Amino acid sequence: MTSFKASSCHSLNGSIKVPGDKSISHRSIMLGSIANGITNVSGFLEGEDSLATLRAFQQMGVQIERVGSNITIHGEGKHGLSSPSEPLDLGNSGTSIRLMSGLLSAQSFNSQLCGDESLSKRPMARVIEPLSMMGALIDSYESKPPLFITGNQKLSAINYTLPVASAQIKSCLLLAGLYAEGETCIVENSTTRDHTERMLRGFGYPVKTSNGQISLMGGGELHACDIEVPSDISSAAFFIVAASIAKEADITLSAVNINPTRTGILDILALMGANITLTDERVVAGELVADIQVCSAKLRGIDIPQKLIPLAIDEFPVIFIAASCATGETLLTGAKELRVKESDRIQVMADGLTILGIENEVLEDGIRIRGGEFSKQNSIIKSHQDHRISMSFAIASSRSEYDIKIEDVDNVQTSFPNFVELANRIGMNIEEI
Ligand code: S3P
């Protein structure tokens, strides 16, 4: 079991490129596998989560070659997947299991989807229920993985309003909808990441979107295309916060995906007074990217606007670190979803912040954080099998005088394998022990 020893640092400087976007990497494998023809992907995230998706499709007979972050997928067409001989082990990855449950519900063969201890605790009723309404047959114990999917069901389209703001549910149903009879229509009351819709269009599959309604007709085909995966703003977020809270910093993160459904972190930090500049905005393979320059700033506490929550859903652990270094109080409410991520991110962050000497109050659907100093020596934090908890507390060291030890950080491999290398390259002081 690896730990981080994160020590104080002087100033943060330099230009780095964080790895490819996790959401886009997953989707590139899924859509490339069911497309007709060869899809070439560059900038693929070589993290355990996206590799779990890649291996699962190889298990279903898709020829996929990987040289570093370059992937070649020999698409089998929509009906070309074959029955896996073993259960598909999706590790820690909620995105893999939820999206694939939609796709596999529509196949002619049975499948079994499972994962690690953290994934096995995560709620799946949110996909099982609407998929069952479409005609899917999925068994599980208390709606938690493993999921047993019986194939050969005839799916019919549904009209479904998302009960929680979730791109995973939306994407799961759109993938099932590709095979359903009729037009599947998903209504979302809050905007969630739209990579599935964008990528489907990139594969030549028509998707209509207007006023929070996303719809597609079943029965069409996907045509292979080339995908350049931009850098993941959820990984960039760690260094955006590190530079914002450091005493001195001027860093640039190049070619980061700034899809407007993902930029809540930038808006929240701007409200807190951060010094962030976007330059060279451009479109790459249907996604907006920019270089992000971040200098240190005096942050102030804010009430986090509700509409930004789904747009920053993965960034709250590190936003809580920013809030700990701000003057005054930061209040987050309406964010119950954080309790069902890779860990209960409200409770786990609150416990860690208390260990570091930051006053906070846990709310059922959020947290109140009073900015202060990381004032405790010999702090030991547990990651609770959650990569973003591991990295967030490591980032706290860019403002802490004292070492912070974070235990059980192998999970960082799921989304950001070279986190330590990049952190140290800009002047942080993180050691793996
Ligand atoms: C993701 C959607 C989000 C996010 C997850 C990736 C995706 O989950 O937390 O890390 O790729 O669709 P929810 O849609 O459940 O909020």
pLDDT digits (tens, 9 = 90+) for 199-257: 999 999 999 999 999 999 999 999 999 999 999 999 999 999 999 999 999 999 999 99
For residue 11, report the distance from its CA to the centre of ligand 1, in Å: 33
pLDDT average, residue stretch 149-162: 98
| Ligand 1 pocket, mutate which of 122, 168, 345 (most atoms under 8 A from CB) | 168
pLDDT at position 286: 87
Kindly state the DSSP code that residue 168 receives in the 8-state scheme. Answer: H
Q: DSSP characters for 212-254? A: TEEEEETT---B---EEPPBPHHHHHHHHHHHHHSSEEEEEEE
pLDDT score of 57 more than 90: yes
Nearest-angstrom CA–CA distance, 226 and 203: 9
pLDDT average, residue stretch 120-129: 98
For residue 314, report the distance from its CA to the centre of ligand 1, in Å: 8
CB 164 within 8 A of CB 136: no
Nearest-angstrom CA–CA distance, 433 and 431: 6
pLDDT average, residue stretch 28-36: 98
C-alpha closest to that of 359 among 373, 349, 369, 348:
369
pLDDT at position 131: 98
pLDDT band at 285 (very low <50, low <70, confident <90, very high): confident
pLDDT score of 119 more than 90: yes
HSE, side-chain direction, 13 A CA sphere, residue 332: 31
Nearest-angstrom CA–CA distance, 243 and 294: 6
For residue 95, report the distance from its CA to the centre of ligand 1, in Å: 6
The neighbour count for residue 144, using CB atoms within 10 Å, is 15
pLDDT score of 159 more than 90: yes
Nearest-angstrom CA–CA distance, 241 and 344: 21
pLDDT average, residue stretch 333-340: 98
Closest residue CA from atom 16 of ligand 1: 166
Size (the chain), residues: 433
Choice among 250, 314, 351, 403 that is catalytic: 314
**Per-residue exposure over 184-199, b if at least 16 CB sit within 10 Å of its own CB, e if not:** bbbebebebbbbbbbb
Helix (H) or strand (E) holding 74: strand 70-76
HSE, side-chain direction, 13 A CA sphere, residue 245: 35
Spatial CB neighbours of 142, under 8 Å, sequence gap ≥ 6:
none
CB 260 within 8 A of CB 29: no
Which residues, judged by CB distance below 6 Å to any ligand atom, belong to the binding site of ligand 1? Answer: 23, 95, 166-168, 171, 192-193, 313-314, 337
pLDDT at position 224: 98
Residue 163 class from Cβ within 10 Å (0-12 exposed, 13-18 middle, 19+ buried)? exposed
pLDDT average, residue stretch 371-390: 97
CB 79 within 8 A of CB 30: no
- Taking only Cα atoms into account, the Rg of the chain, rounded to an integer number of angstroms, comes to 21
| Ligand 1 pocket, mutate which of 21, 97, 313 (most atoms under 8 A from CB) | 313
The neighbour count for residue 429, using CB atoms within 10 Å, is 16
HSE, side-chain direction, 13 A CA sphere, residue 306: 7
Token pair, residue 30, equals 């899924």
Nearest-angstrom CA–CA distance, 237 and 229: 17
pLDDT average, residue stretch 137-166: 98
Token pair, residue 203, equals 């594969």
Atom of ligand 1 nearest to the CA of 234: 10
Tell me the CA distances in angstroms from 169 to 94, 106, 186, 236, 308, one per residue in order.
11, 16, 10, 25, 19
C-alpha closest to that of 128 among 154, 150, 108:
150
pLDDT average, residue stretch 404-423: 98
CB 273 within 8 A of CB 216: no
pLDDT score of 8 more than 90: yes
Whether 250 is a known active-site residue: answer no
Closest residue CA from atom 10 of ligand 1: 314
Atom of ligand 1 nearest to the CA of 337: 16
Nearest-angstrom CA–CA distance, 75 and 367: 45
For residue 229, report the distance from its CA to the centre of ligand 1, in Å: 17
**Percent with pLDDT over 70 in the chain:** 100
Give the type of residue at 213. Q
CB 205 within 8 A of CB 216: yes
Token pair, residue 417, equals 């394998």
pLDDT band at 4 (very low <50, low <70, confident <90, very high): very high
**Mean pLDDT, rounded, of the chain:** 98
pLDDT band at 270 (very low <50, low <70, confident <90, very high): very high
| Ligand 1 pocket, mutate which of 119, 166, 416 (most atoms under 8 A from CB) | 166
pLDDT at position 10: 86
For residue 239, report the distance from its CA to the centre of ligand 1, in Å: 21
